[in-house]
Structure 1
Amino acid sequence: MELLEQVPRGLRSRLLRRHRQGPLVWCVRGLYSCRWGQMYSTCREPGARTCNKVEMFFSTLLVVTFCISLIFLYFWGQAKNDYDDFDWFTFEALGFWFRWSVVLLVVTSMFFSYVALLTLLLLCLLSQRQRISLHWTHKVGVGVVLFFSVVAISVLSGLWSGEWSTLLLSFQVTAPYLHVGGVLLMTALAWPVAALTFQTTGAGRRALIGGPFLLLLSVLYLVPLGLYSPCIKDRTSLGPPPALIGHRGAPMLAPENTLMSFEKAVQCGCVGLETDVTLSVDGVPFLMHDFTLLRTTNVQQLFPERSRSPAAMFTWTQLQTLNAGAWFLSSDPFRTVGSLAEDERVRAQNQSVCSLLDFLQLAARSGSLVIFDLYRPPKGHPYRDTWLQRTLDVLLNQSTILSSQVLWLPSHLRSLVQEMDPDLQQTSGSRLPLEELQRNNIVKLNLHYRDVSPQLVREHAALNVSVNLYVVSEPWLYSVAWCSGVQSVTSNAPHRLNSMTRPLLLMSPDEFSLMWSLTDLTSLILLLLICSFHWWREQALALSSGPQTPLDTQIYGRFRTELSEVWSVSTVSSHIETATSVCPLTPGCAPPSPRPSGLELSLM
């Protein structure tokens, strides 16, 4: 054992370290290449290639697939606010209702997890200088994920291109925290990247590996300098929360556009109610968003031959026979039916199509504002040319609602409507020049949430024109509207937003500066420590295996493991003890050469 102590300490730790890491490297290599051979193997020699050109191509393809799937996962995750619109679009195309948005989210998450795991395994193998050989099943899997991600991005960009604006808008809230997460992730990746960089021979190869990594990390360090978020502001400058307007009532708690849904919205603290109005064939205005009755009623059972006919081509008597609540319980569009009490489910089951008059009377009793889209009847409808007058008759002559409670949105014959009732609050559904807004007595803008900015809100507030955004259902989006100074939002989830006491992720400029400065500084220190350690380790290993240590060749030559064989230290110790017993360690006495084993003969 005294002779063993003379072995350089770096070499001995290197051998023991390889022995201990054998099972982990074996498991990583097996998961990546599906080759479950011998457990213990050595690293490739410094400068040796770890893969051929084909495997290099698939390794690059894996990294590209990881990046693309990550982008799509974030894109679809932030689009959650508009899942209802996506599901409605698929309903129009397929003819039946299903939560395809959730299915797409689950599939995307699974695919991303798969390629993320393969990418992590690849980095581990590279850091250990193991041979890279991706199994053909994984190659097929990576191709499937890449194809799925590219097709999904292309299709959604063509049909739903506005969601990219939502993605950019989300950065106004999440960017400070994405910066922290990105820097921490890159700092963690510095360990395998530094190991691979210092194990590679040649300055050019090292620069090719470490250069892009350091460049990307440097960009991340400087990102906060150009970052803007309305939620980075002092709490003293934060205005009141936007008022809530129930989008078709409270569609997460009751069937949309029913009396129960509007009552739920009032109970949730909504100051206004939003709906969609069309006219029956006998001139009764009623509430219906879709062009047909197929999605939200049982028209398929009662009128199967007319299930795809326009809703406006039914009489009011026929509409009253339809059930407008059972679909809500069976399809559970927002996955919220489970939160309803039993009596609420019974009531939802028995909801019917709501008339405009009943809706206005409910708003009159609760003192709620109302805003509605007014659909012109299709060709052949008896009220196609008098639809506006018929609606105004119900609004002004039959209901008891105050004109000041009505946000009049239809732009058709706006001047005539103003003459009939000047007290109606004229509302524009599009951005118009400020002069035109004043000329038309517009007091409110009803815009999509992607079309607004804090500057626009301030400009219109100076002219006493308030801004309402639709449809805002996610807390992060409500937080952006709150910090931007928006006066009201139309929401599918008033019960959730009403409970918020402050915007999400609100911080002062000083807190933000402190957060990103500490993050960058901590990352830089850890990066220097990681690089110093790997540089020191490779230098120590190079010295321990150099020609200045003859014992490395004399005693540990058997540890050459070209075929993934590693001898145990106990076996080495037994050889040393045998040699010592035959010839003591005295000058001039050399121990006899051990008898070569079968493995050594085969290697020779």
Structure 2
Amino acid sequence: MQLIIIGPYLFTIFVLYLIPLGMYSPCIREEGTLGPKPALIGHRGEPMLAPENTEMSFQKAIENGAVGLETDVRISSDGVPFLMHDNTLKRTTNVDEVYPEASSVHASFFSWADLKVLNAGKWFLKVRLDKPFLQMDTLSRADQILAMNQSIFKLSNFLRLANRENKLVIFDLYRPPEKHPYRNKWLNRILDVIVKESRINPHLVLWLPDDKRSFVETVAPGFQHTSRHKAPVETFLKFNIVKLNLPYPEMSNGFTLVSRRYAKANITTNYYVISEPWLFSLAWCAGAHSVTTNAVHRLKELNLPVFLMTPKDYRIMWILTDAISVLLISCIFTFHWIELPATFGRFFFT
């Protein structure tokens, strides 16, 4: 009976000892092979330090060294593109107070005159008080006052800020809903704002939407076309796509090799949304060129991945761990076999 129990136990222990030696991580690599630190793109600016998608948020991202700014673009009922992630204005503005009867109306059905009077920052301070985020840093009194006085940001003003600071921009464009005046001409209107009104350096624009790429390239030939889907290198070269924008779960073992193949063709890779140092470290080791993050101010402090070692050091670590474990298990079994007969003997004679 003891052999029946011990046999599977020892086999399981043996398998567990071998598993770490076959595990893979991009951060287990030969010395000197780590690539440059990924650049940081502020996701809606710096949403841990300021209300998302506001001028303050983007200024904070710029102050902390972001090379790019990510945002979401909608278009008002009178054709003014503005920054807003949600379909409605309830979460990030005081629409409930100003227009209570229209608080659930789609954001794109408001005119710019109605949108620009809304406060887009008070909610941020309220959320911090009611449901404080553990990852959020403490705001100074000056920043609290500034946050309370933020308005909805126009796309044109956002682009002028990025152009002035020489920052890349990438955005999700949301087509307005049915019966919207700009339902069928929204893309043309947004391109007008980008090319004619803001006059941003076209090379700073990472153009993400797949719709009408040929048309967009004709109107703005300097845009850096970016794809949200993997495809063969030949396809990207055919459509002048120079960057991939992928969710971080795409950092699979196989894709690390694929991203290197893209890099050889001068196609860079951006992962989103990465805010934890350990996840940023994986992206760094996987060869990411940049990451979109909620925490520019924190990730900028990392000088090396939090976990980085050579294959030799990794093997030595696990071999030593296994050896110590074997020693401990052996001691426990030895104690068991010595102590158990004595215990039975005392019990029997008593």
Counterpart Cα distance in 2 of 1:243 and 1:545: 71
- Asked if 1:480 corresponds to 2:276, the answer is no
Identity value in percent = 51
Query: Larger % of strand: which?
Result: 2
Q: CA RMSD in A?
A: 1.4
Matches within 5 A, 1:7-406: 204=1, 206-207=2-3, 209-332=5-128, 334-335=133-134, 339-406=138-205
Read off the aligned partner of 1:328 and give its amino acid letter.
F
Counterpart Cα distance in 1 of 2:55 and 2:134: 21
Give the TM-score of the pair, scaled to structure 2: 0.95
Q: 1:516 aligns with which of 306, 318, 322?
A: 318
Matches within 5 A, 1:518-533: 518-533=320-335
- Whether the 8 Å CA contact 1:329–1:337 is kept in 2: the answer is no
Counterpart Cα distance in 2 of 1:356 and 1:518: 57
Count of aligned residue pairs for this structure pair: 344
Read off the aligned partner of 1:477 and give its amino acid letter.
L
Deviation of the 1:546 alpha carbon: 4.6
Deviation of the 1:454 alpha carbon: 1.1
- Whether the 8 Å CA contact 1:253–1:264 is kept in 2: the answer is yes
Q: 1:451 aligns with which of 250, 253, 274?
A: 250
Q: Where does structure 1 lack aligned partners over 5 or more consecutive residues?
A: 1-203, 553-604
Cα deviation digits, residues 148-177 of structure 1 (max 9, x gap): xxxxxxxxxxxxxxxxxxxxxxxxxxxxxx
Counterpart Cα distance in 2 of 1:237 and 1:282: 53
- Taking a change above 3 Å as real, the CA distance of residues 220 and 521 of structure 1, as seen in their structure-2 partners, is same
- Whether the 8 Å CA contact 2:42–2:296 is kept in 1: the answer is yes
Matches within 5 A, 1:505-584: 505-546=307-348, 552=350
Read off the aligned partner of 1:415 and give its amino acid letter.
S
Give the TM-score of the pair, scaled to structure 1: 0.56
Deviation of the 1:308 alpha carbon: 1.0
Read off the aligned partner of 1:351 and give its amino acid letter.
Q
Counterpart Cα distance in 1 of 2:283 and 2:136: 28
Counterpart Cα distance in 2 of 1:415 and 1:211: 66
- Whether the 8 Å CA contact 2:159–2:200 is kept in 1: the answer is yes
SS at match of 2:56: helix
Q: Where does structure 2 lack aligned partners over 5 or more consecutive residues?
A: none
- Taking a change above 3 Å as real, the CA distance of residues 432 and 338 of structure 1, as seen in their structure-2 partners, is closer
In the other structure, the counterpart of 1:429 is 228
Counterpart Cα distance in 2 of 1:544 and 1:286: 84
Cα deviation digits, residues 317-364 of structure 1 (max 9, x gap): 100111100010001263466611000000001101000011001101
- Whether the 8 Å CA contact 1:255–1:261 is kept in 2: the answer is yes
Read off the aligned partner of 1:282 and give its amino acid letter.
D
Counterpart Cα distance in 1 of 2:233 and 2:285: 23
Deviation of the 1:212 alpha carbon: 4.5
Counterpart Cα distance in 2 of 1:485 and 1:388: 33
Cα deviation digits, residues 404-448 of structure 1 (max 9, x gap): 111111111110010112111111111122221111000001111
Cα deviation digits, residues 494-523 of structure 1 (max 9, x gap): 111110010011111111111000110111
SS at match of 2:180: coil
